[in-house]
Amino acid sequence: MAVLPASSVLKQYKGPLFWQGEVRESEPLPYSESLGQVMSSYQQYKEQEWVEALREKYQPRFNYDLIKRKR
């Protein structure tokens, strides 16, 4: 994805809108900017993995007779 430089100018001349400037290649995000996104993604992954492991280990069992008596 190309990044438009801040110094570029959009001009409208008799109809269509065009862009005048230079296109630069995208640069990788610095560590400090990408850290939050990486941590958030990893936390979601680990939570989903944990919930799946809990569901496999602990199958819910319902005592419907007890539930009916409590009403």
- Whether 50 and 29 have beta carbons less than 8 Å apart is answered as no
Q: Which residue has the tokens 């809108």?
A: 17
What's the whole-number average pLDDT of the chain? 81
Q: How far apart are the C-alpha atoms of 65 and 32, rounded to whole Å?
A: 56
Q: Quick check: is 4 in a domain?
A: no
Residue 70 has pLDDT above 60, yes or no: yes
| 28 lies in some domain | yes
Task: Determine the Cα–Cα distance for residues 38 and 31; give it in Å rounded to an integer.
Answer: 10
In a domain, 25, yes or no: yes
pTM flag (> 0.85): no
Q: What pLDDT, on a 0 to 100 scale, did the predictor assign at position 15?
A: 61
Band of pLDDT at residue 29, cut at 50, 70 and 90: confident
- Residue 37 in tokens: 């996104």
Please tell me the distance from the alpha carbon of residue 18 to that of residue 4, in angstroms, as a whole number.
13
* Number of domains within the chain: 1
The average pLDDT across 8-35 equals 76
Expressed as residue numbers, the domain containing 62 is 9-70
Residue 27 lies in a domain: yes
Above 70 in pLDDT, residue 1? no
